[in-house]
Structure 1
Protein backbone atom coordinates (compact mmCIF):
# COMPACT_ATOMS: atom_id res chain seq x y z
CA UNK A 1 0.00 0.00 0.00
CA UNK A 2 1.27 3.44 -0.91
CA UNK A 3 0.26 6.74 0.61
CA UNK A 4 0.97 10.11 -0.97
CA UNK A 5 -0.90 12.89 0.85
CA UNK A 6 0.31 15.68 -1.43
CA UNK A 7 -0.34 13.92 -4.72
CA UNK A 8 -0.59 15.44 -7.31
CA UNK A 9 1.77 18.30 -6.52
CA UNK A 10 1.96 20.59 -9.53
CA UNK A 11 4.74 22.67 -8.03
CA UNK A 12 6.96 19.63 -8.67
CA UNK A 13 5.61 17.74 -11.71
CA UNK A 14 8.50 15.27 -11.56
CA UNK A 15 7.21 14.02 -8.21
CA UNK A 16 3.91 13.03 -9.85
CA UNK A 17 5.69 10.67 -12.23
CA UNK A 18 8.12 9.47 -9.57
CA UNK A 19 5.15 8.27 -7.51
CA UNK A 20 3.61 6.55 -10.53
CA UNK A 21 6.94 4.86 -11.27
CA UNK A 22 7.25 3.73 -7.66
CA UNK A 23 3.81 2.13 -7.77
CA UNK A 24 4.35 0.38 -11.12
CA UNK A 25 7.96 -0.69 -10.60
CA UNK A 26 7.41 -2.35 -7.23
CA UNK A 27 7.44 -6.11 -7.67
CA UNK A 28 3.76 -6.95 -7.94
CA UNK A 29 2.05 -9.80 -9.59
CA UNK A 30 -0.28 -7.83 -11.86
CA UNK A 31 -1.71 -11.01 -13.31
CA UNK A 32 -3.57 -11.60 -10.04
CA UNK A 33 -5.54 -8.40 -10.39
CA UNK A 34 -5.49 -4.67 -10.99
CA UNK A 35 -4.05 -1.95 -8.79
CA UNK A 36 -6.68 -0.48 -6.44
CA UNK A 37 -6.43 3.31 -6.16
CA UNK A 38 -8.28 5.11 -3.37
CA UNK A 39 -8.35 8.74 -2.31
CA UNK A 40 -10.01 10.69 0.45
CA UNK A 41 -11.83 13.16 -1.80
CA UNK A 42 -14.31 10.87 -3.51
CA UNK A 43 -12.28 9.71 -6.47
CA UNK A 44 -11.01 12.78 -8.32
CA UNK A 45 -7.38 12.22 -7.30
CA UNK A 46 -7.67 8.47 -7.89
CA UNK A 47 -9.04 9.10 -11.39
CA UNK A 48 -6.24 11.57 -12.02
CA UNK A 49 -3.69 8.92 -11.01
CA UNK A 50 -5.29 6.35 -13.32
CA UNK A 51 -5.52 8.74 -16.27
CA UNK A 52 -1.96 10.03 -15.88
CA UNK A 53 -0.49 6.53 -15.59
CA UNK A 54 -2.52 5.35 -18.60
CA UNK A 55 -1.46 8.38 -20.64
CA UNK A 56 2.18 7.81 -19.68
CA UNK A 57 1.92 4.21 -20.96
CA UNK A 58 0.22 5.38 -24.17
CA UNK A 59 2.94 7.95 -24.75
CA UNK A 60 5.58 5.30 -24.17
CA UNK A 61 3.95 2.82 -26.54
CA UNK A 62 2.43 5.00 -29.22
CA UNK A 63 3.82 8.54 -28.74
CA UNK A 64 0.21 9.80 -28.64
CA UNK A 65 -2.37 10.17 -25.92
CA UNK A 66 -6.04 11.09 -25.92
CA UNK A 67 -6.57 12.83 -22.60
CA UNK A 68 -10.09 13.95 -23.43
CA UNK A 69 -11.20 10.40 -24.19
CA UNK A 70 -9.97 9.11 -20.83
CA UNK A 71 -11.50 12.02 -18.93
CA UNK A 72 -14.80 11.40 -20.70
CA UNK A 73 -14.68 7.66 -19.93
CA UNK A 74 -14.20 8.36 -16.23
CA UNK A 75 -16.95 10.97 -16.32
CA UNK A 76 -19.33 8.50 -17.99
CA UNK A 77 -18.57 5.82 -15.38
CA UNK A 78 -18.82 8.26 -12.49
CA UNK A 79 -20.69 11.46 -13.37
CA UNK A 80 -19.58 14.47 -11.40
CA UNK A 81 -16.05 13.20 -10.84
CA UNK A 82 -14.72 16.36 -12.48
CA UNK A 83 -16.14 19.34 -10.63
CA UNK A 84 -14.82 21.99 -13.03
CA UNK A 85 -12.84 22.48 -16.21
CA UNK A 86 -9.83 23.14 -13.98
CA UNK A 87 -9.74 19.44 -13.06
CA UNK A 88 -9.29 18.52 -16.73
CA UNK A 89 -6.80 21.34 -17.24
CA UNK A 90 -4.90 19.95 -14.27
CA UNK A 91 -4.54 16.59 -16.07
CA UNK A 92 -3.32 18.30 -19.24
CA UNK A 93 -0.72 20.27 -17.29
CA UNK A 94 0.56 17.12 -15.56
CA UNK A 95 0.72 15.20 -18.87
CA UNK A 96 2.73 18.05 -20.39
CA UNK A 97 5.63 17.18 -18.08
CA UNK A 98 5.58 13.45 -18.77
CA UNK A 99 9.18 12.24 -19.21
CA UNK A 100 10.12 9.94 -22.08
CA UNK A 101 11.88 7.32 -19.98
CA UNK A 102 9.28 6.09 -17.49
CA UNK A 103 9.34 2.47 -18.74
CA UNK A 104 5.94 1.70 -17.22
CA UNK A 105 5.15 -0.92 -19.87
CA UNK A 106 7.93 -3.13 -18.53
CA UNK A 107 5.97 -3.56 -15.31
CA UNK A 108 2.64 -4.47 -16.87
CA UNK A 109 1.27 -7.70 -18.25
CA UNK A 110 0.77 -5.88 -21.58
CA UNK A 111 4.54 -5.83 -22.11
CA UNK A 112 4.84 -9.55 -21.35
CA UNK A 113 2.08 -10.27 -23.86
CA UNK A 114 4.01 -8.36 -26.52
CA UNK A 115 7.21 -10.19 -25.56
CA UNK A 116 5.36 -13.51 -25.97
CA UNK A 117 4.13 -12.42 -29.40
CA UNK A 118 7.66 -11.36 -30.37
CA UNK A 119 9.03 -14.79 -29.53
CA UNK A 120 6.16 -16.74 -31.09
CA UNK A 121 5.65 -14.73 -34.27
CA UNK A 122 8.38 -12.16 -34.94
CA UNK A 123 6.75 -11.05 -38.21
CA UNK A 124 3.48 -10.21 -36.47
CA UNK A 125 5.36 -8.40 -33.70
CA UNK A 126 7.28 -6.31 -36.23
CA UNK A 127 4.00 -5.40 -37.94
CA UNK A 128 2.49 -4.34 -34.60
CA UNK A 129 5.53 -2.29 -33.64
CA UNK A 130 5.89 -0.61 -37.04
CA UNK A 131 2.69 1.39 -36.59
CA UNK A 132 4.51 4.67 -37.23
CA UNK A 133 7.11 3.57 -39.78
CA UNK A 134 4.90 3.63 -42.86
CA UNK A 135 2.45 6.28 -43.79
CA UNK A 136 -1.29 5.70 -43.85
CA UNK A 137 -1.31 6.39 -47.58
CA UNK A 138 1.18 3.56 -48.18
CA UNK A 139 -0.87 1.21 -45.99
CA UNK A 140 -4.06 2.09 -47.85
CA UNK A 141 -2.34 1.65 -51.21
CA UNK A 142 -1.06 -1.78 -50.16
CA UNK A 143 -4.52 -2.76 -48.96
CA UNK A 144 -6.14 -1.62 -52.21
CA UNK A 145 -3.51 -3.44 -54.29
CA UNK A 146 -4.09 -6.64 -52.30
CA UNK A 147 -7.85 -6.37 -52.83
CA UNK A 148 -7.39 -5.77 -56.56
CA UNK A 149 -5.09 -8.79 -56.83
CA UNK A 150 -7.54 -10.94 -54.88
CA UNK A 151 -10.49 -9.83 -57.02
CA UNK A 152 -8.55 -10.56 -60.25
CA UNK A 153 -7.77 -14.02 -58.96
CA UNK A 154 -11.43 -14.62 -58.15
CA UNK A 155 -12.56 -13.41 -61.57
CA UNK A 156 -9.96 -15.57 -63.35
CA UNK A 157 -11.15 -18.57 -61.36
CA UNK A 158 -14.76 -17.77 -62.21
CA UNK A 159 -13.88 -17.45 -65.88
CA UNK A 160 -12.10 -20.77 -65.81
CA UNK A 161 -15.14 -22.39 -64.27
CA UNK A 162 -17.38 -20.74 -66.84
CA UNK A 163 -15.08 -21.91 -69.64
CA UNK A 164 -15.10 -25.44 -68.20
CA UNK A 165 -18.88 -25.50 -68.11
CA UNK A 166 -19.18 -24.06 -71.61
CA UNK A 167 -16.89 -26.77 -73.00
CA UNK A 168 -19.04 -29.48 -71.44
CA UNK A 169 -22.18 -28.36 -73.32
Structure 2
Protein backbone atom coordinates (compact mmCIF):
# COMPACT_ATOMS: atom_id res chain seq x y z
CA UNK A 1 0.00 0.00 0.00
CA UNK A 2 2.69 2.51 0.99
CA UNK A 3 5.62 0.52 -0.34
CA UNK A 4 8.03 2.69 -2.31
CA UNK A 5 7.12 6.03 -0.76
CA UNK A 6 9.36 8.10 1.50
CA UNK A 7 8.46 8.59 5.13
CA UNK A 8 7.36 12.14 5.96
CA UNK A 9 10.05 14.60 6.97
CA UNK A 10 9.04 15.93 10.38
CA UNK A 11 10.71 17.10 13.57
CA UNK A 12 10.12 15.10 16.75
CA UNK A 13 10.46 16.69 20.20
CA UNK A 14 12.42 14.17 22.28
CA UNK A 15 13.84 14.09 25.78
CA UNK A 16 17.30 12.58 26.08
CA UNK A 17 19.37 11.70 29.13
CA UNK A 18 22.12 14.21 29.83
CA UNK A 19 24.54 13.25 32.63
CA UNK A 20 25.64 16.89 32.96
CA UNK A 21 22.20 17.70 34.40
CA UNK A 22 21.93 17.05 38.12
CA UNK A 23 18.83 16.07 40.01
CA UNK A 24 16.10 13.49 39.61
CA UNK A 25 15.27 14.40 36.00
CA UNK A 26 18.56 14.47 34.05
CA UNK A 27 16.98 14.97 30.63
CA UNK A 28 17.02 17.76 28.08
CA UNK A 29 14.94 18.52 25.01
CA UNK A 30 16.44 17.46 21.69
CA UNK A 31 14.77 17.90 18.32
CA UNK A 32 15.27 14.95 15.98
CA UNK A 33 14.14 14.78 12.39
CA UNK A 34 12.98 11.91 10.23
CA UNK A 35 16.45 11.92 8.67
CA UNK A 36 18.01 11.32 12.10
CA UNK A 37 15.99 8.13 12.42
CA UNK A 38 15.80 6.85 8.85
CA UNK A 39 18.52 8.30 6.59
CA UNK A 40 21.21 5.81 5.59
CA UNK A 41 19.73 2.98 7.65
CA UNK A 42 17.49 -0.03 7.14
CA UNK A 43 15.10 -0.05 10.08
CA UNK A 44 11.89 -1.50 11.39
CA UNK A 45 9.29 1.07 12.37
CA UNK A 46 6.19 -0.03 14.23
CA UNK A 47 3.44 2.24 15.39
CA UNK A 48 0.76 1.57 17.93
CA UNK A 49 -2.24 3.29 19.53
CA UNK A 50 -0.63 4.09 22.85
CA UNK A 51 2.09 3.40 25.36
CA UNK A 52 0.98 1.37 28.38
CA UNK A 53 -1.96 -0.17 26.50
CA UNK A 54 -2.46 -3.95 26.83
CA UNK A 55 -1.60 -5.31 23.36
CA UNK A 56 1.28 -2.88 22.92
CA UNK A 57 2.78 -3.70 26.33
CA UNK A 58 2.12 -7.43 26.36
CA UNK A 59 2.89 -8.49 22.79
CA UNK A 60 4.11 -5.91 20.32
CA UNK A 61 6.90 -4.02 22.13
CA UNK A 62 8.22 -7.11 23.99
CA UNK A 63 8.09 -9.18 20.79
CA UNK A 64 10.26 -6.74 18.89
CA UNK A 65 12.65 -6.47 21.85
CA UNK A 66 12.99 -10.26 22.15
CA UNK A 67 13.66 -10.64 18.42
CA UNK A 68 16.11 -7.76 18.10
CA UNK A 69 19.14 -9.94 17.32
CA UNK A 70 17.19 -11.89 14.70
CA UNK A 71 16.18 -8.64 13.01
CA UNK A 72 19.82 -7.52 13.07
CA UNK A 73 20.84 -10.77 11.36
CA UNK A 74 18.54 -9.74 8.50
CA UNK A 75 20.33 -6.43 7.99
CA UNK A 76 18.12 -4.27 10.22
CA UNK A 77 20.11 -1.46 11.83
CA UNK A 78 17.52 -0.26 14.35
CA UNK A 79 13.96 -0.84 15.52
CA UNK A 80 11.74 2.12 16.35
CA UNK A 81 8.43 2.19 18.20
CA UNK A 82 6.33 5.25 17.38
CA UNK A 83 3.16 6.39 19.10
CA UNK A 84 1.08 9.53 19.34
CA UNK A 85 2.33 10.10 22.88
CA UNK A 86 4.72 12.71 24.24
CA UNK A 87 8.36 12.00 25.01
CA UNK A 88 7.78 11.78 28.78
CA UNK A 89 5.24 8.98 28.31
CA UNK A 90 7.29 7.11 25.71
CA UNK A 91 10.49 7.25 27.80
CA UNK A 92 8.75 6.09 30.98
CA UNK A 93 7.00 3.25 29.15
CA UNK A 94 10.29 2.09 27.63
CA UNK A 95 11.91 2.19 31.08
CA UNK A 96 9.05 0.32 32.77
CA UNK A 97 9.05 -2.34 30.03
CA UNK A 98 12.79 -2.92 30.53
CA UNK A 99 13.44 -2.28 26.84
CA UNK A 100 17.09 -1.87 25.87
CA UNK A 101 17.21 -2.44 22.10
CA UNK A 102 14.18 -0.57 20.78
CA UNK A 103 14.23 3.22 20.44
CA UNK A 104 10.98 5.08 20.99
CA UNK A 105 9.81 7.95 18.83
CA UNK A 106 7.32 10.37 20.41
CA UNK A 107 4.88 11.74 17.85
CA UNK A 108 3.12 13.88 20.44
CA UNK A 109 1.27 16.10 17.99
CA UNK A 110 0.57 13.23 15.59
CA UNK A 111 2.19 15.07 12.66
CA UNK A 112 4.20 12.08 11.37
CA UNK A 113 1.22 9.78 11.85
CA UNK A 114 -1.14 12.18 10.06
CA UNK A 115 1.24 12.54 7.13
CA UNK A 116 1.54 8.75 6.94
CA UNK A 117 -2.26 8.63 6.59
CA UNK A 118 -2.53 6.59 9.78
CA UNK A 119 -4.04 9.08 12.26
CA UNK A 120 -7.42 7.88 13.54
CA UNK A 121 -9.86 9.03 16.19
CA UNK A 122 -10.05 6.81 19.25
CA UNK A 123 -12.58 8.97 21.08
CA UNK A 124 -14.61 5.84 21.83
CA UNK A 125 -11.78 4.89 24.23
CA UNK A 126 -11.12 8.42 25.47
CA UNK A 127 -7.76 8.52 23.66
CA UNK A 128 -8.40 11.25 21.09
CA UNK A 129 -6.28 11.14 17.93
CA UNK A 130 -3.93 8.14 17.79
CA UNK A 131 -2.06 5.96 15.35
CA UNK A 132 -3.59 2.98 13.65
CA UNK A 133 -1.40 -0.06 14.31
CA UNK A 134 1.14 -0.73 11.53
CA UNK A 135 4.75 -1.67 10.90
CA UNK A 136 7.18 -1.01 8.07
CA UNK A 137 10.64 -1.85 6.96
CA UNK A 138 12.20 1.46 5.96
CA UNK A 139 15.36 1.54 3.87
CA UNK A 140 17.11 4.94 3.74
CA UNK A 141 13.83 6.74 4.34
CA UNK A 142 11.85 4.76 1.76
CA UNK A 143 9.25 2.17 2.73
CA UNK A 144 10.47 -1.24 1.57
CA UNK A 145 7.62 -3.28 3.07
CA UNK A 146 4.32 -2.27 4.68
CA UNK A 147 2.28 -4.17 7.32
CA UNK A 148 -1.03 -2.51 8.22
CA UNK A 149 -3.69 -3.99 10.46
CA UNK A 150 -7.03 -4.43 8.67
CA UNK A 151 -10.06 -2.20 9.13
CA UNK A 152 -8.52 1.25 9.58
CA UNK A 153 -11.24 3.67 10.65
CA UNK A 154 -12.11 6.14 13.35
CA UNK A 155 -13.39 4.75 16.64
CA UNK A 156 -12.86 1.11 15.65
CA UNK A 157 -14.48 -1.20 18.16
CA UNK A 158 -11.47 -3.50 18.31
CA UNK A 159 -7.69 -3.27 18.25
CA UNK A 160 -6.56 -5.72 15.56
CA UNK A 161 -3.08 -7.15 15.96
CA UNK A 162 -1.21 -9.70 13.88
CA UNK A 163 -0.22 -8.20 10.54
CA UNK A 164 2.19 -5.80 12.28
CA UNK A 165 3.61 -8.41 14.66
CA UNK A 166 7.36 -9.04 14.83
CA UNK A 167 6.73 -12.63 13.76
CA UNK A 168 5.04 -11.46 10.55
CA UNK A 169 7.89 -9.07 9.72
CA UNK A 170 10.43 -11.82 10.35
CA UNK A 171 8.48 -14.11 8.03
CA UNK A 172 8.76 -11.44 5.31
CA UNK A 173 12.51 -11.05 5.94
CA UNK A 174 13.03 -14.82 5.86
CA UNK A 175 11.17 -15.11 2.54
CA UNK A 176 13.13 -12.19 1.11
CA UNK A 177 16.41 -13.81 2.18
CA UNK A 178 15.36 -17.09 0.51
CA UNK A 179 14.49 -15.34 -2.76
CA UNK A 180 17.79 -13.43 -2.77
CA UNK A 181 19.70 -16.67 -2.09
CA UNK A 182 17.86 -18.40 -4.95
CA UNK A 183 18.90 -15.70 -7.46
TM range (shorter): under 0.3
Compare the two structures and name the one with the higher helix fraction: 1
Q: What's the TM-score, normalizing by structure 2?
A: 0.25
Compare the two structures and name the one with the higher strand fraction: 2
Q: Which has the higher contact order (CA 8 A, sep 6+)?
A: 2
